[in-house]
Amino acid sequence: MTYRVVQWSTGNVGRHAIAGIDARPDLELAGVWVSNPAKVGRDAGELAGLGRDLGVTATGDAEALLALRPDCVVYTSMADVRLMEAIDDLCRILRAGVNVVSSSPVFLQFPDGVVPPEMSDPVREAAAAGGASVFVNGIDPGFANDVLPLAVTGISERIDQVRCMEILNYNTYDQATVLFDIMGFGRPLDDVPMLLRPGVLTMAWGSVVRQIAAGLGVELDEIAERHTRLPAPDTFAVSAGTIGKGTAAALRFEVRGMRGGEAVVVLEHVTRLRDDLAPDWPQPAGAGCYRVEVRGEPNYTVDLRLLGTDGDHNTAGLKATAMRLVNAVPAVVKAPPGLRTALDLPLTPGRGLL
């Protein structure tokens, strides 16, 4: 069976999603939505950097795309700075009877116990009204801290703690809004960015912690946050801009699922903008990695190393996010209506060997 898919946005993740849709023989790109008027009328292949046309031109007309009655929308529009607008987008698509796989808003990965019901209920209600399903995922939050750690625990006799880590240098991540405005890099250390305001880390990654606990049948007492930032020793440039001496250049944070005073499920990020920063913090396998540590009997460490064919680990991360969504399309289309999570869906492998 071939599934007709609309790609919603063509940014850092969306352009990789277009390539992924084109690569799967069971998916057909039916349309592309863009917010930038300069992209309207351009071919999807050009927007994705494929070097060839796909015969599908981009449009800013959402109603026209929904009127095509696609089987699924791959939604990759940024939600970090437009949260309610993104929720409205998802509700609009779902009410039209169209299934959705989405990279945002990230708390919808597993919202129960993470955000108030009024933030997730509209999406559930829209899905019920349209008879459609929605799956929010990616690489992180997503595969690296839902399917991967739960799979590793499947060979455990006893589990004392599950820790999921992202250890990456973001120097080639060309997204100034995320790096500077949301994460606070290149800003004074006494300036509290959006990400580090109380409760925001939990809203973003509490879903990860809650979902792992639910998968293991563990009841958490609470979720706690902590973070550390380090300054740049000198001024240097990254893809997104300039990091001034003394401004934030390394960030380490934890979102901790607590039970009986102990952290039993931990989401940790170790983010540098230069490899030589914070040498005493955890180091990646290869150029960058996602790491799962399961402590108990026995102890396990699994490193998922990232490297794109262009030699960049951040490219691999963006493509992984896109392909987690694209490869889930058939399973989400077949799923019962509603907000689906990784605990609901079967394994969603890629397709084909060259």
pLDDT tens-digit series, residues 305-344: 999 999 999 999 999 999 999 999 999 999 999 999 999 9
Same domain for 299 and 323, yes or no, is no
Q: What's the domain range around 128?
A: 3-136+317-340
Reported as half-sphere exposure (CB side, CA atoms, 13 A), residue 284 has a value of 23
- First vs last C-alpha separation in the chain: 21
Cα separation, 304 vs 35, in Å, equals 34
**For range 273-292, the mean pLDDT:** 97
- Among the listed ranges 111-115, 205-209, 265-269, which one has the minimum average pLDDT value? 111-115
The CATH number of residue 230's host domain is: 3.30.360
- Among the listed ranges 148-157, 181-190, 343-352, which one has the minimum average pLDDT value? 343-352
At residue 353 the predicted structure's pLDDT band, cuts being 50, 70 and 90, is: low
The percentage of the chain sitting over the pLDDT mark of 70, rounded to a whole number, equals 99
Quick check: 273 pLDDT over 60?
A: yes
**For range 177-189, the mean pLDDT:** 97
Domain presence at residue 210:
yes
Cα separation, 43 vs 150, in Å, equals 40
Same domain for 156 and 299, yes or no, is yes
18: left (phi over 0), alpha (psi -120 to 50) or beta: alpha
Give bridge partners of residue 236 from the DSSP assignment: 243
Confidence at residue 171, expressed as pLDDT on a 0 to 100 scale? 97
Same domain for 7 and 68, yes or no, is yes
Same domain for 151 and 203, yes or no, is yes
Give bridge partners of residue 289 from the DSSP assignment: 167, 305
- What is the average pLDDT score of the chain? 96
Domain presence at residue 142:
no
Tens-place pLDDT, residues 221-250? 999 999 999 999 999 999 999 999 999 999
CB atoms within 10 A of CB 335: 18
Domain presence at residue 348:
no
Confidence at residue 218, expressed as pLDDT on a 0 to 100 scale? 96
φ/ψ of 318, rounded to 5, equals -65, -45
175 is written with which tokens? Answer: 């997204």
Domain presence at residue 285:
yes
The CATH number of residue 55's host domain is: 3.40.50.720
At residue 349 the predicted structure's pLDDT band, cuts being 50, 70 and 90, is: confident
Count how many domains the chain has.
Answer: 2
Closest CA to 293 of 154, 138, 153: 153
Quick check: 354 pLDDT over 60?
A: no
Same domain for 95 and 9, yes or no, is yes
Cα separation, 10 vs 33, in Å, equals 8
Same domain for 120 and 152, yes or no, is no
Query: Residue 242 CA to chain centroid, in angstroms?
Result: 25
Same domain for 107 and 236, yes or no, is no
Domain presence at residue 257:
yes
Residue 141: cis peptide before it, omega within 30 degrees of 0: yes
Same domain for 84 and 175, yes or no, is no
Domain presence at residue 204:
yes
Domain presence at residue 25:
yes
Tens-place pLDDT, residues 40-72? 999 999 999 999 999 999 999 999 999 999 999
Give bridge partners of residue 258 from the DSSP assignment: 222, 263
Same domain for 72 and 164, yes or no, is no
262 is written with which tokens? Answer: 């102990």
Cα separation, 318 vs 335, in Å, equals 25
Burial class (CB in 10 A: 0-12, 13-18, 19+), 273: buried
Same domain for 39 and 128, yes or no, is yes
Confidence at residue 266, expressed as pLDDT on a 0 to 100 scale? 98
Instruction: For strands 248-259 and 99-102, give the pairing.
Output: unpaired
Same domain for 30 and 105, yes or no, is yes
Domain presence at residue 69:
yes
Same domain for 99 and 214, yes or no, is no
Confidence at residue 184, expressed as pLDDT on a 0 to 100 scale? 98
